Structure 1
Amino acid sequence: MRERRAGYLAFDLGASSGRAMLGWLEGPVLHMAEVHRFETSLIERDGHLFWDVEALEQEIWTGLQQALAQMPALRAVSVDSWAVDYVLLNREGRPLRPPYSYRDTRTRPMMARAFARVAPAELYARTGIQLIPINTLYQLLADLEEDPAVLRRAERLLLIADYFNHRLGGQPVVEVSMASTTQLMNVHTRQWDAELLRAFGLDFPCWPEIVPSGQVIGQVRGHPSVAVIASCSHDTACAVAAVPARPGTRWAYISLGTWALLGVERTTPILTDAAREAGFTHEAGLDGTIRFLKNLTGLWVLQECLRAWRQEGPVSWEALEAEARAAPAERCYLDLDDPYFFEPGQMPERIVAYCRQHGLPVPESRGQMVRAILESLARNFRRALRQLEALLEAPVDTLHIVGGGARNRLLCQLTADTCEVRVVAGPAEATAMGNLLIQARTLGDLPEGYTLRDVVARSETCWIYEPHQKSIPQPATER
């Protein structure tokens, strides 16, 4: 059925799958429909991991055509994705090579080499970004060491979502939430840090303009009535923009998917040694905000287990949760942030080996393994939340879980119990909602007097988990 109403299209690219989500407003309520889903598979070549951007671009154009077939009055489109990975473009605007995945191992020695040029404390003070080896900075240093010619030939560097916005017809720019994740944007000026680029030998002419969130950057090629909008190119920034927080509450969030991003929204950075040593980062958010957060492993280990188990036969998330509920609590706490779990493949076997190596109870069933993962996640959340409260010098009274992990009721209850805080779960589609609503606001389509979070609260049912509650969770009431 062809919809005549005006709408918006969000492409949400995750580390395992992508989808095209149509959205349209009816008053202060956002409606959504998935029109296309596809894999974001990795290419393994010569011992390295790459993203197949040509295949992804074909899927994006397919999703756009399907969206236009359903909603000819489409007003805008925007792509969001994971952070840190980038595409190097030649003079014709085509990739010089497939972009590396952040899970590739080539960056492992690069942090030590970076710190020999710029001390960790100075790097953190200038960028505010957590010192982890997947960051764009260390990937570029690997390029500089292994293939410096590719950087000299590059006319433009674009991060993943920004590259696809450009391919759709937008200008070759980088949106600020994505730029902030590179560890090369100055946290104060929100521009590329020229001194750091020189210090690292990365002062090539390929660095694009950084633009604010929610900016029209062009029109879709072949469809001039459809705007290309840089909403928030970083998927976590979109998700945080859609947290249905109540004004006046002391709230934090976990954007929970493959990764778990736990933090708060601020207007000023906390650039202390304590924040750096605790691994907290400052990523740009909507409307000049700062997402002060910590990157934790999210559902990655469980996703990899599910992938392995599906090779043996069909299994659903719901079945795994039911098996985990029935399994006894063994207090088998895994350090899910251990690099041992970082690479894909053979995850159930690696968990067993890890437990034996560390003297932990070895899961004897699939349900026990899932429960061990979920309890370990909740324990990691508690540790990070206590660090956050210490840095803020204030307690958190409400923890919002958004993203796909909000659907896992056992994990939400374990988090409430372990963190001893009220958990509000939902929306599960926060990233797509944030992307769509930023588009609508950019075009002046939000109803007068309503914020993005007002619309989210009226569009989704969220669920409240109190610590140690025995009854089923309760739906959150509208604000």
Structure 2
Amino acid sequence: MAATDNIGLSADGRRVADARAVPLLALDLGSSTGRLYLGHLSASGRLDIEEVDRFANGPVQIGGHVYWDFAHLWQSAGAALAKVASRLDSPATLGIDSFGVDYVLTDASGYAVAGMRHMRDARTAGLYDAVYARIAKPELYGRTGSMEIEINTLLQLVADRRDQPWLTDVAHALHLAPDYVTHLLTGRRVSELSIASTTQLIDPVRRDWDFGIADAFGIPRRWFAPIVEPGQIVGPVTADEAERLSLRHRIDVVAVASHDTASAAAVVPYEPNAVRERTAFISLGTWSLVGQELRAPDLSAASCAANFTNECGVAGSIVHHKIQAGLWLMHQTLKDVQRTQPGIGFAELERLAAATSRRFAFDADDAAFRDPVSMPAAIRHWFTQRGLPAPESLAELARSIYDSLALSYRTTLAQIQALRGASIETLHIVGGGAAIEPLCQAIADATGVVVIAGPVEATVAGNMVAQLVARGVVRDFEHGRDIVSRSFTVTRYSPSGDPAWTRRHAQLQAHIERQSVVLS
């Protein structure tokens, strides 16, 4: 039976006082795992979050190309929602967040016309030369504030035009991943702003599409849906979907900051009286996103040269950051190791890394690590091709990943300090990496900055805060940030002051293009 009851609304559509009690559902689609969470805002003002279900997600190779298995993703998300439905005794809201840049094209009837390509598909390699032949790099950055990275939606669309030109005629609409799930659940077509700003097609000043860029590359304007800011209700799950999922109560889908980074950035638990210009964050998951929240985009030549991106965040903010290597290195290392040692897990890798004294570092952002057949082999090859010793044991390999990531963040923080003209005093780490003690301590030691780690589930918390804003339960996103700060514990890491890290960083920077280095 279709759900018809309203969600904390009176007959004339006004929000009512019991809206605080409405359950919060957050569907978090990560690069390797999808998860559904159930949350509530307690009477004491604490945000309580429970993981209800999780399912595998990731790339599949078909015919030499890399795709998302969206059918599996959709089926698994539906099963998770059906699972939680029996626990809901009142209307609820649902927010969807995910990875950026990747999309589905549909025809005028709403059917997908091509598979959903994965960001790690190699079809975009070297395409920036063609892009800059149409729009010069300084102009493109000045219009979008987007970093140069070959996974961007713009490059994927240019590749589609080159490889499948018929899509221009057949496709009617473009849906980024969370927008597509929203569309399938509600029947409504919108483009949430934060996820749209991962496309390299958004003007971050106007916070809207730059159709002139689409025109320059022959990308139809009809593909792009109206922009909505995070913190708005899109609409209820349709009657057909409610029946399919056995929903007993109405669920309204909310446009949260649907790029997972923007949701996490919205609730970074800054300390009271913290000077934001002297505070940076790392959203540390499969990727690392290192940056700051700004009041306005930084479209300067210096920001362009340092390859930072300006993502539109909540409440008019800009999430100014750099996308770089993250725990993908460890995920793929573990995947390789488990072929011969199926019993080993992340906890064991963490223990081994903490126990070894031998230190190695490599360029974590080298293109060789984008999607190698074997991550351990790729890392070792990075060393041996330069004629220097490579990490041999699994412990040394795991430790080298942590140290290499930490040293890469040191470089990025130096760039942030140069751009802002102010030193960074505190570095917040949110996401899965916040739970890895040896990595967090290495980051504090490598950067020389106090690290505050947590919450691990910052993206989910930010997703739920946007739902509370949309329902009028909290007055604004800053109030939501305060709630999150009170709801989760964090861990503080102080830098050791060991001068060896400065030497290690200098060694790595000196050799990053011509040889690797064994850290002494």
Place the TM-score, normalised by the shorter chain, in its bin. over 0.9
Q: 2:362 pairs with 334, 341, 351, which one?
A: 334
Counterpart position of 2:454:
426
On the 8 A contact 1:136/1:182 being kept in 2, the answer is yes
Equivalent residue in structure 1 for 2:348, among 319, 328, 343? 319
Partners of 2:220 and 2:203 lie apart in 1 by: 15
Residues 47-83 of structure 1: per-residue CA shift (max 9 Å, x gap): 0011121221111111111122122324111111000
Change over 3 Å in CA distance of 1:360–1:438 after alignment to 2: farther
Report 1:388-407 matches (<5 A).
388-407=416-435
Matched, 1:13 2:26: no
Distance between the aligned counterparts of 1:375 and 1:290, measured in 2? Answer: 29
Instruction: Give, in whole Å, the separation in 1 of the partners of 2:221 and 2:471.
Output: 35
Larger CA Rg, structure 1 vs 2: 2
Equivalent residue of 2:108, what SS?
A: coil
In 1, are the aligned partners of 2:24 and 2:467 still within 8 Å (CA)? yes
- Alpha-carbon distance in structure 1 between the residues aligned to 2:475 and 2:227: 29
**Separation of aligned partners in 2, 1:12 and 1:71:** 19
Q: What is the CA–CA distance in structure 1 between the aligned matches of 2:109 and 2:51, rounded to whole Å?
A: 33
Query: Which of 203, 207, 224 is the matching residue for 2:224?
Result: 207
Give the Cα separation in 1 of the matches to 2:484 and 2:270.
10
Deviations 1:98-154 (A, max 9, x none): 111010000013211000000000000000000111100000000111111112211
Runs of 4+ aligned structure 1 residues displaced above 6 Å come to: 447-450
TM-score (norm 2): 0.87
SS class of match (2:202) = coil
> Secondary structure of the equivalent of 2:178?
helix
**What's the CA shift for 1:335?**
0.7
Is residue 92 of structure 1 aligned with residue 120 of structure 2? no
Counterpart code for 1:93: G
Instruction: List runs of 5+ in structure 2 lacking aligned partners.
Output: 1-19, 243-248, 499-520
Separation in structure 2 between the aligned mates of residue 46 and residue 322 of structure 1, nearest angstrom: 39
TM-score computed with the length of structure 1 as normaliser: 0.94
Asked if the contact 1:28–1:446 (Cα under 8 Å) also holds between the matched residues in 2, the reply is no
Q: How many aligned residue pairs are there?
A: 466
2:262 matched residue in structure 1: 237
Measured in 2, the distance between the counterparts of 1:244 and 1:469 equals: 25
Residue matched to 1:474: none
Q: Give the percent of matched residue pairs that are identical in Structure 1 and Structure 2.
A: 40
For 2:233 and 2:261, locate their aligned partners in 1 and report how far apart those are by CA, in whole Å.
20
Distance 2:102 2:335 in 1: 23
Deviation string, structure 1 residues 378-413 (Cα, Å, up to 9, x no partner): 000000000001001111111000000000000101
Which of 71, 78, 83 is equivalent to 1:66? 83
Distance in 2 (CA, whole Å) between partners of 1:453 and 1:361 is 46
Counterpart in 2 of 1:476?
none
The superposition leaves residues 215-235 of structure 1 with CA deviations (integer Å, 9 ceiling, x where unpaired) of 111101234721111101101
Residues of 2 paired with 1:20 and 1:178: CA distance? Answer: 19
Amino acid at match of 2:385: Q
* 2:38 paired with 1:22: yes
Q: 2:373 aligns with which of 345, 358, 367?
A: 345
Matched, 1:40 2:69: no
Structure 1 distance, partners of 2:321, 2:21, is 38
Amino acid at match of 1:139: Q
Counterpart-to-counterpart distance in 2, 1:67 and 1:88: 30
Structure 1: any 5+ residue segments left out of the alignment?
Answer: 471-479
- 3-state SS of 1:148 partner: coil
1:43-442 alignment to 2 at 5 Å?
Answer: 43-169=60-186, 171-222=188-239, 223=242, 225-249=250-274, 250-312=278-340, 313-330=342-359, 332-442=360-470
The alignment yields a C-alpha RMSD, in angstroms, of 1.7
Give 1:475's aligned residue: none
Q: CA deviation at 1:301?
A: 0.8
